[in-house]
Amino acid sequence: MKKSILITSIIILVIVSVISIFKIKIKPNKKVDNSTNNSVNSNIDNNVDDSIDDNTKYDAIEIETNDFENLENYNSYYYKAYLNYSKNNLDIDKQTIVYFINYCRKNNIEYMNINDYFINLYKENDFDAKKIDRYIYYLQNSLNSSYENVVKIVNNNLDTVILKNKVDEDFILNLINEKYYKSNNLERYINYFQNNKSLSSKEIVTNVNSNLDYTFYKDYNMTDTSKDTLMIVNKHYKLDNNYVPKNLVTIEPTYGYQFEIRQDVYEAFKNMYNAAKSDGISMFIVSPYRSYKLQNSIYNNYVAIDGINKADTYSARPGFSEHQSGLAVDLAPKAYMDLDTFVTSPSYNWMIENSYKYGFILRYPQNKEYITGYMYEPWHYRYVGVEAATIIKNEDLTFEEYYEYYVK
Ligand SMILES: [Zn+2]
């Protein structure tokens, strides 16, 4: 019995050993089967397999699987390049090296040829390995750009526009740091700058945001009346000839002449009127809503007296008047007083200090004529709501600037 058990055991052991040896042999065969599509690669596989220890291989395979475009490049020339590079640049993270090696592979570049670019770019704080191709392209095509600027410019998506327009990159970097910089306006800033090189970047942004690169009355759009109390009406934004505000009410004699005004504006005005009154200040609405037809006859009357050029500085052409929106009021200190008397009355100072609390702004301020397109009108107030009026006052903006930056 003992002998037969021993013999049986030996036989089983032999069978098990044979099976396991057989299994080991099957594994690599299967692997080769999977990659028979590319016999060149499997040859390279065999060559590199011999020279790399298992731990390094495992590490590298994992990264390649995630980031090298095709697995068939596994253990290829680039894989070796990666390992080599990784070994010599231990401080650069592996992910970044993979992007770099991939870039070299795609562009058929020997990586040592652009290694200095890469190392210097990598040292920049905001370096983003995914943008390596754009960094290097910009670096090679711009004149004397610093590594810091290259990273900044590409990260802000300014590379294409700078190269296309051959514009000074310091100018662009100053522009994008301006508070009211709008990326959609970039090409317009550049064009405007080409014709106005003495202006600061702040002036460029302000003027283009206010459409000063367009011609009054010539380059205009129909205004978006769905913006409601924030709609803009000026020499670049027109109202339809038939536009009439929906909620017009007639002003009571206490508050002004009995013309029409938007009801919400009227309610806000009455609150303001009462607050002013309790401070001993009076005010009176001389001119609120005006129809297209009325504006047409007013404007043409001024043109007959002063000519078009002069009339355009103080009177709006029909369709371009804010009064047609029902959101504007011209104020006198009291009934039967002229608009011109407003600026020297205590009412004027009170309004400058307090009107924003009720949602009204001085619409055509002094020294902003070039933006608004109108001479200083101390009597003309516009309802925009408390939130907008507060920002406009605190940041010393015209409604043109506010609209383009915050509303449009
Ligand atoms: Zn007015």
Find the catalytic residue in 169, 322, 377, 401: 377
CA of 277 to the centre of ligand 1 (A): 22
Confidence of residue 259 (pLDDT cuts 50, 70, 90): very high
Q: What pLDDT was estimated at residue 356?
A: 98
Phi then psi for residue 383, to 5 deg, are: -85, 125
Higher pLDDT: 51 or 147? It is: 147
CA of 217 to the centre of ligand 1 (A): 18
Q: Which segments of 181-330 does DSSP mark as H helices, in order?
A: 186-195, 201-209, 263-278, 292-306, 308-314
Torsion angle in degrees (nearest 10) through CA of 204, 205, 211, 215 = 10
144 Rama class: left (phi>0) / alpha (psi -120 to 50) / beta: left
Q: What pLDDT was estimated at residue 261?
A: 98
How far apart CA 52 and CA 58 sit, in angstroms, is 10
CA of 290 to the centre of ligand 1 (A): 10
CA of 329 to the centre of ligand 1 (A): 6
- In our burial notation (b when 16+ CB lie closer than 10 A, e otherwise), range 358-375 reads bbbbbbbbeebeebbbbe
CA of 287 to the centre of ligand 1 (A): 7
How far apart CA 132 and CA 118 sit, in angstroms, is 8
CA of 376 to the centre of ligand 1 (A): 11
205, burial (CB in 10 Å: exposed 0-12, middle 13-18, buried 19+): buried
69 is catalytic: no
How far apart CA 16 and CA 6 sit, in angstroms, is 15
Q: What is the pLDDT of residues 58-95, one digit of tens each?
A: 444 444 445 555 545 555 666 777 778 888 887 888 78
Domains of the chain, earliest start first: 156-209 (no CATH), 221-407 (3.30.1380.10)
Q: Is the pLDDT of residue 7 over 70?
A: no
Confidence of residue 144 (pLDDT cuts 50, 70, 90): confident
Where is average pLDDT lowest: 8-17, 237-246, 290-299, 349-358? 8-17
Q: Is the pLDDT of residue 286 over 50?
A: yes
222-243: average pLDDT: 98
> Within 10 A of 220 (CB to CB), how many other CB atoms are there?
17
Confidence of residue 288 (pLDDT cuts 50, 70, 90): very high
Q: What pLDDT was estimated at residue 89?
A: 83
CA of 322 to the centre of ligand 1 (A): 7
Confidence of residue 250 (pLDDT cuts 50, 70, 90): very high
Tokens of 408: 């449009």
CA of 320 to the centre of ligand 1 (A): 12
Q: Is the pLDDT of residue 359 over 70?
A: yes
Q: What is the pLDDT of residues 154-204, one digit of tens each?
A: 999 999 999 998 888 999 999 999 999 999 999 999 999 999 999 999 999
Q: What pLDDT was estimated at residue 308?
A: 94
Q: What is the DSSP string of 46-111?
A: HHHHHHS-HHHHHHHHHHHHHHSS-GGGTTSHHHHHHHHHHHH-TTS-HHHHHHHHHHHHHTT--G
Q: What is the pLDDT of residues 306-343, one digit of tens each?
A: 999 999 999 999 999 999 999 999 999 999 999 999 99
Average pLDDT score, the chain: 85
Q: Are strands 221-222 and 237-238 parallel, antiparallel or unpaired?
A: parallel
Q: Which segments of 94-200 does DSSP mark as H helices, in order?
A: 94-106, 115-123, 132-141, 147-155, 159-165, 169-176, 186-195
Higher pLDDT: 248 or 89? It is: 248
Confidence of residue 6 (pLDDT cuts 50, 70, 90): low
- pTM of the predicted model over 0.75: no
Phi then psi for residue 251, to 5 deg, are: -70, 140
